[in-house]
């Protein structure tokens, strides 16, 4: 009888467990844990020593979608850093240092205005991806993205 019960329980356990899942200990809700996919910028935060700040909705004209492909390619629909490109693409790598997850994004502009590595600390908070650039903002800034598509493998053509 014990073998019969185990025969039915084992497949259920293996189906319900996934090594990529993170469950919030307070809410019991599955949290996002993968950077791969398509993300839409929804809020931004800029630090200030003099004035307390909060997350602010992204204003019209500052919309951005970013894609992190599983083959480590990167795409962004907003390329205000490049004067001649309506969008940018490149590649990225992730890692961990000093207890922080980081993502290093490499891209170049066709006008050679900017060819560099753009490094962010990244975290997941309530299923949002938070990117915090380490060099761009003097007093700190972060950008909050919601996932709009998962697990993209092919690169943009």
Q: Position of tokens 């992204």?
A: 58
Angstrom distance (rounded) from CA 154 to CA 157 = 9
Strands 73-76 and 88-97: antiparallel
Q: Please indicate, yes or no, if residue 144 is contained in any of the structural domains.
A: yes
Q: Please indicate, yes or no, if residue 53 is contained in any of the structural domains.
A: yes
| 99: β partners | none
Q: Please indicate, yes or no, if residue 111 is contained in any of the structural domains.
A: yes
pLDDT band, residue 103 (cuts 50/70/90): very high
Instruction: Give the domain range for residue 47.
Output: 32-150
Single out the residue of 30, 32, 45 nearest to residue 147, CA to CA.
32
Q: Please indicate, yes or no, if residue 85 is contained in any of the structural domains.
A: yes
- Over residues 16-45, the mean pLDDT reads 67
Q: Please indicate, yes or no, if residue 117 is contained in any of the structural domains.
A: yes
Neighbours of 128 (CB within 10 A): 18
pLDDT per residue as tens digits for the range 104-146: 999 876 655 555 788 999 999 999 999 998 877 777 889 999 9
Overall domain count for the chain = 1
Instruction: At 18, list the tokens.
Output: 């996934």
Q: Please indicate, yes or no, if residue 11 is contained in any of the structural domains.
A: no
pTM of the model: 0.71
CATH code assigned at 100: 2.40.128
Q: Please indicate, yes or no, if residue 118 is contained in any of the structural domains.
A: yes
Q: Please indicate, yes or no, if residue 137 is contained in any of the structural domains.
A: yes
Instruction: At 19, list the tokens.
Output: 């090594």
What's the pLDDT at 9?
Answer: 35
């Amino acid at each position: 009888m014990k073998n019969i019960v185990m025969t039915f329980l084992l497949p259920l356990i293996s189906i319900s467990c996934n090594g990529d899942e993170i469950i919030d200990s307070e809410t019991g809700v599955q949290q996002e844990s993968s950077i791969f996919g398509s993300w839409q910028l929804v809020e931004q935060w800029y630090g200030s020593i003099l004035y307390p700040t909060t997350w602010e909705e992204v204003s019209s004209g500052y919309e951005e979608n970013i894609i992190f492909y599983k083959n480590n390619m990167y795409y962004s629909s907003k390329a205000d850093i490049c004067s001649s490109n309506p969008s940018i693409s490149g590649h990225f790598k992730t890692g961990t240092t000093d207890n922080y997850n980081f993502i290093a994004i490499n891209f170049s502009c066709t006008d050679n205005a900017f060819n560099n590595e753009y490094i962010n600390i990244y975290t997941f908070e309530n299923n949002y991806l938070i990117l915090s650039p380490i060099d761009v903002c003097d007093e700190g800034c972060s950008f909050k993205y919601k996932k709009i598509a998962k697990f993209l493998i092919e690169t943009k053509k």
